[in-house]
Structure formats: C-alpha cells, structure tokens
Amino acid sequence: MVGAVIVRDGEPIGEGWHAELGGLHAERAALEDCRRRGEDPAGATMYVTLEPCAHHGRQPPCAEAVLGAGVARLVIASEDPSEKASGRGPGMLRDGGVEVELAAGEEAAAARLLNQPFRKHARTGLPLVTLKMAMSMDGRFAAPAGDERWITGERSRELVHRWRAESDAIAVGVGTVLADDPLLTARTPDAARQPTRVVFDRRARLPLDSQLLRTLDQSPLVVIVGPEADAAALRDAGAEVVVAGEIPAALAELGRRGATSLFLEGGPTLVAAFAEAGEIDEARVFVAPVLLGGSERRVGLDEPGDTLIETRFKEW
C-alpha cells in the first residue's frame, strides 16, 4: 500500500496511490493527477510512503517517471527491503540530481506498519501471521455447551470479515473444522477477492463433505498434513495438500506460494503451536463484556459492545 503527494509552496498539486495489483504505482498516479489538474511537477517536492521502484515489473520504473517529470525533491517514508529494490531507486534519483530525504519518527514508523506483510515476506520469504481471538472478561474462549455460539457482537464479526478480505490466507486447525464446519470466506460487500483457506490437519481428518471442500469454486483450500498422513482422498476431492512436519516449514511453503499474510483464527491447539514456534507477529484480541466462568449460565454485564485489543509483537 503506497501513497504519494506532490507539493509546491505548501499546497498539494497532485496525489495518487497504488489502487490495485498491476495498476499505476503511487508516484505515476500522482504525476498523472498533476496533468489532470493542469499543474507542472517540475521543481516540486514529492512525498511517498515507499521508495520508488527502479525495475520493470507489472509497471515501468517509477524512478524514471520522477526524474522525467523534473521533481526537485523527494521525501521517502519507508525503504523497500526487497532484493530487486533496496535503495536502487533513491540512488538513481540522487544521481539524476534529485534531493532525496528519508523521513524518520512517527511518519516513518506508520509507513512501515502499512506494509508489514510485504516487508516480512521480502526479508524472510514467510507470511506475516496475525492472530485473531475472542475471549470473555474472565479469559474463557467459548460459552458452555448448549449456550449460544458467539461471545462477541455483530460489529466485531464485521471487522473480522474485513480482515479476512485483507489477508492472503486464513488458517485454522482441523479441530475447529470438525466442531464448526466453517466457510472461512470474507463476507463483506466490497471484498475484492477471497483469501486462500488453510487447514492444519496432521492426520488428514478433514471431512470430505465439509463446507470447505464443497466451496472450492469460491476460494482455494490448502491442507497442511504430517508426513505420516494418507491424504489421497483430500487430493481427489480437490484440496491442495502440503506435507509439513512443523509450523515453520508450513509457513515457508505458503510463502513460496505467494502468501504474504496469514490470518490465524484458531483453535487453541493450533494457536499454542504457533506461539511455541515463535511464529505470531501480531495479535488482535476481542474482549467481550461477559463472564462465562465454569457454570452453565452465561453472565452478561451492562457494558455494551466489545473491546478490541491490538498488539504488535514484531515489526518488519
């Protein structure tokens, strides 16, 4: 996610952002906006959240466009850690006479946090793992047997679906599938894509009549199994099967498949395995205003709504 603003005499004369994969990069979008406004970017300052690229990909190099437009000064909020970038664009611009400045402080930190999945994948080849879980105020994760399924509210569920839509993949353990038979799709009106659904299933116990296998036309399904599992039936049913004995090996394979972000939704056994492996980068924890305790009765509090606690463990 990249944005750019072109400024002259303290006033913006063009702005743009990278709106979609394969579309104009932020710098070229901002230069195009200048042209639409009838403004000349020559001699102006450009602010950009990520260093301009200097290589040919889905779009031509942005460094060339900035040089060609005569921009005099460039302020970059975040470096690009990928091997094909890593300072090449700023170096090209300096050689071309552009004054290049790297931002610091809160602006630089915010720009880095915008692209944590991209940054981690570029540095390690692994997806950024974000844990989502919900709990009661007394630390319980589920209501007693026979009680209602949800312990959080409608707004929290809407937010979870938005997070799913922003993720490359969603992961659960097979225990969650056996208990809930989830779809794991992003059910939001503006979801531009569906994430890949990933089930950690060491012994290949995923039911062949599960919703996940019945909805392969909506989103791919990857099943992570152990070396000893017989997963032929899952393959025949259309699932992609990955053999991995440990969490890091599974993440490496997902990274090789292009996943830069993994949204970890549970259950507790899988979450504990990720935590023990040190593979949780960020946690988003809903605390519902209820006390579940050990009794069969759910106890509600007068306090409305849910509270979201968001904790970043690792910054890439």
Q: How many CA atoms lie within 13 A of 141 on its CB side?
A: 10
Domains 3-114 and 126-312 share a fold: no
- For the stretch 53-74, pLDDT in tens is 998 888 899 999 999 999 999 9
Within the chain, what is the greatest distance between any pair of CA atoms? 72
Is 228 an annotated catalytic residue? no
Percent of all residues in the chain with a pLDDT value above 90, rounded to a whole number: 74
* pLDDT score for 299: 38
Average pLDDT over residues 260-287: 93
Per the CB < 8 A criterion, the answer to whether 170 and 265 are in contact is: yes
What are the backbone angles phi and psi of residue 9, rounded to the nearest 5°? 55, 40
**Whether residue 298 has pLDDT greater than 60:** no
DSSP structure class, residue 127: P
pLDDT at 146: 46
Task: Give the up-direction half-sphere exposure of residue 130: CA atoms within 13 A in the CB hemisphere.
Answer: 24
Strands 307-312 and 282-288, how do they pair? antiparallel
Nearest to 93 by CA among 152, 147, 46, 125: 46
Are 66 and 47 within 8 A, CB to CB?
no
Give the pLDDT band (50/70/90) at residue 302.
Answer: very low
For domain 3-114, the CATH class is alpha beta
The pLDDT tens digits of the residues spanning 116-163 come to 999 999 999 999 999 998 888 877 776 555 454 567 778 888 999 999
Q: Using the predicted structure, report yes or no on whether residue 265 has a pLDDT greater than 70.
A: yes
3 state DSSP class of 282: strand
C-beta atoms surrounding 252 within 10 Å? 16
Instruction: pLDDT band for 290, please (50, 70, 90 cuts).
Output: confident
Q: pLDDT tens, 173-199?
A: 999 999 999 999 999 888 888 999 999
**Predicted confidence (pLDDT) at residue 250 exceeds the cutoff of 70:** yes
Region of 38 please: left (phi>0), alpha (psi -120 to 50) or beta.
Answer: left
**Per residue in 198-226, pLDDT tens?**
999 999 999 999 999 999 999 999 999 99
Mean per-residue pLDDT for 100-105?
A: 95
Mean pLDDT across the stretch 81-87? 85
Q: According to the model, what pLDDT value does residue 266 have?
A: 84
pLDDT at 300 over 50: no
Does 28 score more than 90 pLDDT? yes
Q: Are 182 and 173 in contact (CB under 8 A)?
A: no
Res 309: pLDDT:
59
Q: Active-site residue among 27, 51, 279, 282?
A: 27
d(CA 250, CA 102): 36
The set of residues, in sequence order, having a beta carbon less than 8 Å from that of 174 and lying 6+ positions away, is 199, 200, 201, 202, 203, 205, 206
Phi, psi of 145 (to 5 degrees): -55, 135
Q: Domain residues of the chain, as ranges? A: 3-114, 126-312
What sign for the dihedral angle of Cα 189, 190, 192, 196?
negative
Is the CATH number of domain 126-312 3.40.1440.10?
Answer: no
Residue 152: its pLDDT value, please? Answer: 76
Kindly tell me the sign of the dihedral angle through the C-alpha atoms of 291, 297, 298, 303. Answer: negative
Global pTM reads 0.85
The two structure tokens encoding residue 32: 């195009």
- 296, pLDDT greater than 60: no
Predicted pLDDT at 312? 61
Give the total residue count for the chain.
316
pLDDT over threshold 50, residue 297? no
